[in-house]
Amino acid sequence: MSSVAIPEPSSSNKTRQVTTRVLCLGNDLLADDSLGSLVAEQVRKLALPNVQVVETPEAGFHLLDYVLHIHRLVVVDTVMTGTASPGTIHEFREDELETVPGGSPHYVGLHETLTLGRCLGLPVADKVVFLAVEASDCSTVGGAMHPAVRAAIPSVVRMVRSSLQL
């Protein structure tokens, strides 16, 4: 199991071994897509040992650094499947993902980034869990978050905590 030494937020020179990263994706300027930032804020308050919480609007190969040097990766994001109501939480493991024919709709997605890292022999997370909340609108700049998406935040935070105990 790989780990990364992360400085403690205090003034001491102590370091802690991070074995799990919670990667919260999304853009806080885009309506429901801001879910990741809000979940990251709540998970940080839990001060979980050996857990690093990261939030980013980045996508594709820019995510490669975030999937390296950890044992477990928990990804929080929004999704628009059109098959569920806004606020529905989807939980799945990496091996349950199907590759999109012709590549990801985002050109290079997280699944392709994980696959590339492994093909290159990089120390990619062994265990990957995805928590995706069904969104209503991920493109309106300055748009309000759908009430059902906002209401899902406490459940997502509980699911993040639960997935870290596996």
Q: At what angle do helices 35-45 and 153-163 cross, to 10 degrees?
A: 60
Write the single-letter amino acid at 114.
Answer: L
pLDDT score at 15: 56
Strands 4-7 vs 15-18: parallel, antiparallel or unpaired: antiparallel
Q: Identify the CA nearest to 65 among candidates 78, 52, 77, 76.
A: 52
DSSP 151: H
pLDDT score at 113: 86
10-residue block means of pLDDT along the chain (166 residues)? 39 62 92 93 93 92 91 93 92 72 59 87 92 90 92 96 82
Domain CATH code at residue 137: 3.40.50.1450
Q: Which residues pair with 130 in a beta bridge?
A: 75, 92
pLDDT score at 127: 92
Q: Is the pTM of this model over 0.85?
A: no
| Cβ–Cβ under 8 Å, residues 76 and 8 | no
Rounded to an integer, what distance in angstroms lies between the CA atom of residue 121 and that of residue 156? 32
> Domain range for residue 84?
4-163
pLDDT score at 111: 80
pLDDT score at 55: 95
**How many domains are there within the chain?**
1
Rounded to an integer, what distance in angstroms lies between the CA atom of residue 142 and that of residue 56? 17
Provide the token pair at 59.
């996508």
